[in-house]
Homo-oligomer: A and B are copies of this chain.
């Protein structure tokens, strides 16, 4: 189907997907860039494509709207010109009970969340738990920072006060990061089946959740006592990769 008018209702709908409430309404989000679209395709998440006029559809198994470059520019969140956008469906909320689970408590920055998702997939984590006040996982900056990793792990927004004890019952060891009352990472026993709990950029993991943890970790530093949460998560996940 071809669309050439910037004021077409479909165009308006796609632009609205920048806002969470409209994404939620249709359970849909946009992705751009060849690499991300290929990852979404392999994960079976694509609903349909939006393609620049006269271009062949590289994924003929999906329906495609053909539109003008002006329309693509209006929908796109990129500065540079984009030739294809995919409209994807939300992942089913689920927790794949692999050995390693990453839990994020009220992480606010989309770049940090995206980076942690990318790291988690690289280090064999199977599931991501998000507390209620985390940034939306379908935020365009989150998706871009994941570099497509989002499509490779299960994901669930839940109440941590309920979920963490339940996972403990199932044999998961819960590690929480904390600057106080915590054990240096080098001395932490690596339990293969675990949940790693990382906290908000400013305030860290909430106190009531730290109290639920089996162990609290801090990363040894020489100076300044300050690490970006995405970096801290990477250091911890790499540490747990080498479980004995």
**In the complex, A76 has a CB within 8 A of chain B:** no
* Nearest B-chain residue to A220, judged by Cβ: B241
- A235: which B residues are within 8 A, CB to CB? 234-235, 238
Nearest chain B CB to A80 CB, angstrom units? 14
CB-CB contacts of A118-155 with B at 8 A, as 1s and 0s?
11011110000000000000000000010101001000
Smallest CB separation, A160 vs chain B (Å): 24
Main secondary structure of the interface of A (DSSP, over half): helix
Closest chain B residue to A234, Cβ basis:
B231
As for how many copies of this chain the complex holds, the number is: 2
- A94 interface residue (CB < 8 Å to B): no
Complex CA gap A225/B119 in Å reads 9
A221 an interface residue at 8 Å Cβ cutoff?
yes
- Please tell me if A226 contacts chain B, counting CB pairs below 8 Å: yes
How long is the Cα–Cα vector from A71 to B122 in the complex, in angstroms? 46
Beyond A124-B222, A149-B224, A230-B230, 16 additional pairs, beta carbon < 8 A: A111-B111, A115-B228, A118-B224, A118-B226, A119-B228, A122-B222, A122-B224, A122-B226, A222-B241, A227-B234, A228-B234, A231-B231, A231-B233, A234-B234, A234-B235, A235-B235
**14 cross-chain CB contacts under 8 A:** A111-B111, A115-B228, A121-B224, A122-B221, A122-B223, A122-B226, A123-B221, A124-B223, A145-B228, A149-B224, A186-B242, A219-B238, A228-B230, A231-B231
